[in-house]
Amino acid sequence: MPQLRQLAEFPAAATDPGAVLTATVPRQLVHRAAVAETFLTGWARNGDDHFTVTAQWPRAHQLHVSPDRTAYEPLLVVETVRQSGTLLAHTEYDVPLTHQFVLQELRVTTYPAQLAVGPLPAETDLDVHFSRSGSRRSASLTYEVDVRRDGERVAAAHVAFTSVGESAYRRLRGGRTVEGVTALPVPPGLPAADVHRALPADVVLAPTRDEDRWQLRVDTEHPVFFDHPLDHVPGMLLLEGARQAARLRMPADRPQAAFRATFHRYAELDLPTWIEAETTSGGEIRVTGIQEGATVFTCVVNAAGW
């Protein structure tokens, strides 16, 4: 097979194109429909339950890069960590692609000084240690991640989730399906600048009479939060609700650095989700999501330097 002219100046590419050129992993392996929302570029096994995952972050993104394009948002780290667990579950632990993943716990601490946007897309390495228990039909998985960029630590994370088969998921959802659930109308949102967003469409909080309580705006047409149809409110939308609620209570000059979230139950599309925020004695912002009086998730947000 003749060598491609475009690769002639790269000797390593003649025998190992991956040494020079990279592409994203198959989008199905990270539960994404859009290639543009797939950030992982590869993975390798380093030992029992120990892996390296590589990722590339774009210099501009509707949600995950600051409006002035100077910094990556912490939730980009969260999404990259989420994708790494999904990828490894499917490729290294034989979790079928038809399984659904139920997120239970997520903790991530970022180092804002390492999240600056540079002249090229950021290349990051994720050192992942996995743990799995249960059966092929239903498995509990946890993993720890150390995220580095040019050898510098960007973030550390812990994630716990469960994978369930189709029949178990149907029982878990109590008959709710993508086709059978209609989301509520989307109420008017807060001013975009108040929550550090460039576009009104990316505002996920609607004001109420209580300044510390908002309704979550669930726009199923949003191309990032609803990259594909879902029968519930996605975890990343709930985390963005926490990010925006905490932003309203934090000093503008303090970048957000850490999120500690617990997901208690599914947030349903056809019920209003109320977001409440309070400042703890230690200065953290505790955000709670509520549906019909029951807590669906809690998230504690820290600013850098707190």
Span 123-147, mean pLDDT? 88
- pLDDT given for residue 18 in this prediction: 45
Of how many residues is the chain composed? 306
Q: Where are the domains of the chain?
A: 5-171, 176-303
Annotation: CATH topology of 176-303 = Thiol Ester Dehydrase; Chain A (3.10.129)
Q: C-alpha distances in angstroms, 179 versus 218, 219, 231, 250, 275?
A: 17, 16, 8, 39, 26
- The DSSP letter of residue 25 is P
Backbone torsion region of residue 217, taken as left when φ is above 0, otherwise alpha when ψ lies between -120 and 50, otherwise beta: beta
Annotation: CATH topology of 5-171 = Thiol Ester Dehydrase; Chain A (3.10.129)
The CA distance from 108 to 126, in Å, is 13
The set of residues, in sequence order, having a beta carbon less than 8 Å from that of 129 and lying 6+ positions away, is 49, 50, 143, 144, 145
- pLDDT given for residue 139 in this prediction: 81
Beta bridge partners of 106: 159, 261
pLDDT tens digit string along 239-297? 999 999 999 999 878 899 999 999 999 999 999 999 999 999 888 999 999 999 999 99
5-171 shares its CATH topology with 176-303: yes
Question: For residue 235, how many C-alpha atoms fall within 13 Å in the half-sphere facing its CB?
Answer: 24
Q: How confident is the model at residue 305 (pLDDT cuts 50, 70, 90)?
A: low
